[in-house]
Amino acid sequence: MPGTRRSGAGLSLDQRGLRNRWGLAFMITLLVLVIARLVVLQGVDGAAYANAAEQDRLRTYPIAALRGQVLDRNGQALAYTVDASRVVADPKVVKDPAAAAAKLTALLDVPEPDLVKKLSQDSRYVVLASQVPPETVDAIEALELSGVLFEDDPVRLYPAGAVGGQVVGFVGKDGAGLAGIEQTFDDELAGTAGVRRVEVGSGSNPIPSGIDESTPAVDGGTVRLTIDQDLQYVTEQRLGKACADGDTTQGSAVVLDVATGQIVAMGSCPGFDPGAASKTDPALLGNPAVSDVFEPGSVMKAVTISAAVEEGIAKPDEVLTVADKIDAGDHVVRDSHVHEPIQYTVTGIVAKSSNVGTIMLAREVGNEKLEQYMRAFGIGSTTGVELPGESRGILEKSADWTQSRAANVPIGQGVSVTTLQLASIYQTIANDGVRITPRIVESVTDPDGRTRPAPQAGRTQVISRSTAEDMAYMLEAVVGAGGTAPRGAIDGFRVAGKTGTAQRPNPDCGCYSGGGYVTSFVGFAPADDPRYVVAVDLERPTGAGDGGGVAAPVFADVMRYALTTGAVVPSGTPRPEFTLIHTP
């Protein structure tokens, strides 16, 4: 058409050829890029994308290790763990919350409305029920409900209930030990968790032919204790009876094997059930026998007299003229009753629990030397027993003792101990003067079955064998005629021990007035061949009474059972005759 130029008009033949060649090159380049990208996607990156898709379908679940057992010395279980599961759900995947809730309510024992509410939440994770037994899990799995899953949630059981609860301790919600043996041996008991990787499809349900890989958990080891569950039960029952008298608010007792230092029983009232620890007053969740300290009173005189005998200052039949009071700096210390000067033997000072006679001997020993003996007996330091929260007690340096303190410490005031420390003192005397570090763990068995005995207990010669024999002789007079604790006697057995009645500090005023008393009795039997030590202390903020009348009967009941269950034969030798007061 005239006046119209066609595309490419005016270009030479060579120019049009060049333009076509550039266009063809551009098209070929695009085609190569597309093909290269397809090769990369399908050949090179395909595996990565496939792996990413696969990873998106993988779920990782922890496999809980079953916590190990805690056993008594005879293999009776005090704590063990059983399989259980936590039932959880992904509400985003649950197809029909109402229908799912209707099927689950009876199996989980959870109200249907509560389940509907949880399954309808705008969330990817809700807990429907905890610690569900395996048979219930099997029943739920058979329902094939989309979005309902399971997690390991083992249950810790304490079949003995409160018996030994303060020793065994308890675990928290995360399964970690929070008290007692559960805490001290948490690493050994906990085991090592495993893991499971599983490929899931719609509804988060495992794909039958998909990936299912597991690294198994390693269950925890077993801790065997030295305590005897039956004796532990009797000890706690007897303490409970004492605490029910209306005046005693707290009491503790420890039973030691004389020859080994092993703790055969340890309890306090009130106690607690480890299985109900979360519902228990936190103030009751400790172990007072190792953590609470008290002024022991006259039971401490055994240390003072031991020092005097060991230093050659006193002998059992030596006679001292003892008044009923003695000056001690800014105050006067009196005997338990008013009396004219008495010609006490040293045995009589022990049997009658004379404060004045004991202070007289302590002054001959000297403050510095007496402190050395007290520390050698373990006062002022922890015993090292395998339990958390142990107190070291209170013993000031002798250089800081005032005149009144120097008179109080030898008779058990102005110094504080735990029940375990008290038992350890008398174990030393009963064991020919050799103090053995108290132990409450016998062995640990690893998951592979290898048993490791507890480390050998330390042994320290505190007093000589002859001094220990003299002390056993004098302490036996305490339970005999004229002594302060005839109610500590046990038919058929010779018993040695000492009473204690100490003023209890009043927390309201920081003084002794109105604080009540702590009564105690510690002893061993048979006195001629000691097998067990039993220490008992009872806190009585508003009650009167003394160690011989209140604590000694508890001692006798516990010791009687210990001797019986330990198959200890009655003493084969008669009780010695004691001279308590010298008559010219």
Predicted local confidence at residue 4, as pLDDT:
46
Predicted local confidence at residue 317, as pLDDT:
96
Q: Of 500, 507, 503, which Cα lies nearest the Cα of 517? A: 503
Instruction: Verify whether residue 204 is a known catalytic residue.
Output: no
Predicted local confidence at residue 541, as pLDDT:
84
Predicted local confidence at residue 44, as pLDDT:
55
Predicted local confidence at residue 2, as pLDDT:
47
Per-position DSSP letters for 86-135, written without gaps between them: EEEE-TTT-S-HHHHHHHHHHHHT--HHHHHHHHTSSSS-EEEEEEE-HH
Distance CA 428, CA 10 (A): 124
Structure tokens at 452: 């490791």
Side-chain-side CA neighbours of residue 421 (13 Å): 31
- Distant-in-sequence, close-in-space partners of 324: CB < 8 Å, separation ≥ 6: 334, 335, 337, 338, 339, 340, 341, 356
Give the number of residues written for the chain: 584
Instruction: Identify whether the C-beta of residue 47 lies closer than 8 Å to the C-beta of residue 32.
Output: no
Which segments in the chain show pLDDT lower than 50? 1-7, 49-50, 53-54
Distance CA 516, CA 246 (A): 13
**Assigned CATH topology for domain 229-565:** Beta-lactamase (3.40.710)
Q: pLDDT per residue over 53-69, tens digit each? A: 445 567 677 788 899 99
- Helix/strand/coil for 519: strand
Domain spans, the chain: 84-153, 229-565
Distance CA 267, CA 526 (A): 22
- Distant-in-sequence, close-in-space partners of 54: CB < 8 Å, separation ≥ 6: 199, 211
List 85, 204, 298, 306, catalytic entry: 298
Cis amide leading into 111 (omega within 30) = no
**Assigned CATH topology for domain 84-153:** Penicillin-binding protein 2a (Domain 2) (3.90.1310)
Helix (H) or strand (E) holding 539: strand 532-540
Distance CA 487, CA 549 (A): 7
Largest Cα span, the chain: 166
Question: In terms of DSSP bridges, do strands 148-152 and 126-132 run parallel, antiparallel, or are they unpaired?
Answer: unpaired
Predicted local confidence at residue 484, as pLDDT:
94
Predicted local confidence at residue 269, as pLDDT:
95
Question: In terms of DSSP bridges, do strands 58-63 and 532-540 run parallel, antiparallel, or are they unpaired?
Answer: unpaired
Q: From the CB of residue 62, how many other CB atoms can be counted at a distance below 10 Å?
A: 12
Predicted local confidence at residue 248, as pLDDT:
92
Predicted local confidence at residue 478, as pLDDT:
97
Instruction: Identify whether the C-beta of residue 131 lies closer than 8 Å to the C-beta of residue 87.
Output: no
Instruction: Identify whether the C-beta of residue 345 lies closer than 8 Å to the C-beta of residue 352.
Output: no
On the 0-12 / 13-18 / 19+ scale of CB atoms within 10 A, 55 is exposed
Distance CA 545, CA 516 (A): 10
Q: Which residue has the tokens 């005149």?
A: 403
Helix (H) or strand (E) holding 310: helix 301-310
Ramachandran category for residue 224: left, alpha or beta (phi over 0 → left; psi -120 to 50 → alpha): beta
Distance CA 386, CA 290 (A): 10
Instruction: Identify whether the C-beta of residue 227 lies closer than 8 Å to the C-beta of residue 236.
Output: no
Q: At what angle do helices 419-430 and 465-479 cross, to 10 degrees?
A: 110
Say yes or no: do domains 84-153 and 229-565 share a fold: no
